[in-house]
């Protein structure tokens, strides 16, 4: 396959960026999108040009590092991470736009790399169960209904990639935040901090400059792990129950 790429190049956080056009040839349909970018970068290095910076690591859809807006969609046309998107989903001769996550709360570091540390600060505000090492009771002391464990797991699957924020017209982090609240609040272990957790996480989210949620639903459509909008409904309920 031969493709035309229009890639966002930005030298640093304070530099201005622009789309730059590149041609890549001989792309195999079996390549992942990142392997296609690897190919381009190898050529750029040999030409003495700066390769395109992008975050990536595990390349099996679980670490959450990779992420870019491809033809206007977070992670591109398939509902998966960019590392698990394969070139067979594109046509020979396609023109493909590649941009970083678009959100004021995710400043661009360089090219397609953004700073998602706001997510870590949200978790630090209360996205945990306070269980210091060595203080744990016997694991079977607290039975957990299978439905609750499954529900917790389905929300704990969030990889923190930030696609939800990038897809949201408001740049809201509600899906990310709600996934963590549902994971911890449905478990009996999470119950003692249940009320304060929802308040603290929403407060941290607002402080980071993420937008508000208007139930547009783009976040759930873009989520590579299939976390649904009902998580946001649960967060809203937990938040209201929390009081002041």
Partner 1 sequence: MNSEAPFDEVPFKYSDFTVGAPIADTKAPTGPIAERWDRRRFEAKLVNPANRRGRTVIVVGTGLAGGAAGATLAEQGYHVVQFCFQDSPRRAHSIAAQGGINAAKNYRNDGDSVRRLFYDTVKGGDFRARESNVHRLAEVSVQIIDQCVAQGVPFAREYGGLLDTRSFGGVQVSRTFYARGQTGQQLLLGAYQALSRQIAAGNVELHPRTEMLDLLVIDGRARGIVARDLVTGAVSAYLADAVVLATGGYGNVFHLSTNAKNSNATAIWRAHRRGAYFANPCFTQIHPTCIPRSGEHQAKLTLMSESLRNDGRIWVPKTVGDTRSPELIPEQERDYYLERIYPAFGNLVPRDIASRAAKNVCDEGRGVGPGGQGVYLDFADAIARMGRAAVEAKYGNLFEMYQRITAEDPYQVPMRIYPAIHYTMGGLWVDYDLQTTVPGLFAIGEANFSDHGANRLGASALMQGLGDGYFVLPATLADYLAQAPTAPVPTDHPEVTSAIVEVTDRLKRLLAVDGDRTPESFHRELGELLWDECGMARDEAGLRRALARIPQLRAEFWQRLAVPGTGEELNQTLEKANRLVDYFELAELMCLDALHRTESCGGHFRTESQTPGGEAARKDEEFGYVAAWEFTDGGAPVLHREELTFTEVHPTQRSYA
**Residue 34 within binding range of partner 1, rule CB under 8 A:** yes
**Residue 57 within binding range of partner 1, rule CB under 8 A:** yes
- Kindly state the number of chain residues that form the binding site for partner 1, as judged by CB under 8 A: 79
Q: Given the rule CB under 8 A, which of 17-25, 141-149, 166-174, 226-234 is the region that contacts partner 1?
A: 141-149
Helix, strand, coil percent values for the chain (each to nearest 5): 40, 15, 45
Q: Given the rule CB under 8 A, which of 42-50, 93-101, 210-218, 236-244 is the region that contacts partner 1?
A: 42-50
Structure tokens at 178: 């709600």
Q: Which of 5, 7, 32, 223 binds partner 1 (CB under 8 A)?
A: 32
**Residue 1 within binding range of partner 1, rule CB under 8 A:** no
According to DSSP, the residues that pair with 5 across neighbouring strands are: 22, 96
Considering only residues 78 to 137 of the shown chain, the ones binding partner 1 according to CB under 8 A are 80, 84, 86, 88, 109-110, 113, 115-117, 119-121, 123-125, 127-137
Q: Within 10 Å of residue 115's Cβ, how many Cβ atoms?
A: 13
**Residue 65 within binding range of partner 1, rule CB under 8 A:** yes
Which residues fall within 8 angstroms of residue 75, CB to CB, at 6 or more apart?
Answer: 67, 68, 81, 82, 85, 161, 163, 222, 224
């Amino acid at each position: 396959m031969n493709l035309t790429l229009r890639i966002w190049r930005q030298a640093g956080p304070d530099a201005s960026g622009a789309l730059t056009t590149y041609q890549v040839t001989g792309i195999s349909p079996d390549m992942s999108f990142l392997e296609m970018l690897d190919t381009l970068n190898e050529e750029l290095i040999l030409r003495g040009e700066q390769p395109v910076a992008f975050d990536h690591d595990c390349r099996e859809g679980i670490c959450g590092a990779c992420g870019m807006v491809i033809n206007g969609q977070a992670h591109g046309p398939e509902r998966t991470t960019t590392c698990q998107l394969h070139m067979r989903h594109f046509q020979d001769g396609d023109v493909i736009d590649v941009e970083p996550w678009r959100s004021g709360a995710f400043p661009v570091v360089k090219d397609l790399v953004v700073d998602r540390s706001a997510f870590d600060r949200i978790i630090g505000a209360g996205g945990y169960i306070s269980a210091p090492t060595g203080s744990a009771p016997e694991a079977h002391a607290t039975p957990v209904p299978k439905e609750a464990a499954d529900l917790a797991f389905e929300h704990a699957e969030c990889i923190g990639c930030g696609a939800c924020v990038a897809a949201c017209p408001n740049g809201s982090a509600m899906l990310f935040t709600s996934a963590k609240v549902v994971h911890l609040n449905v478990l009996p272990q999470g119950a003692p901090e249940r009320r304060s957790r929802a308040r603290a996480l929403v407060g941290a989210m607002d402080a980071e400059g993420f937008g508000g949620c208007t139930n547009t639903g783009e976040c759930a459509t873009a989520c590579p792990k299939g976390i649904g909008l009902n998580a946001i409904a649960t967060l809203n309920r937990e938040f209201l129950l929390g009081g002041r």
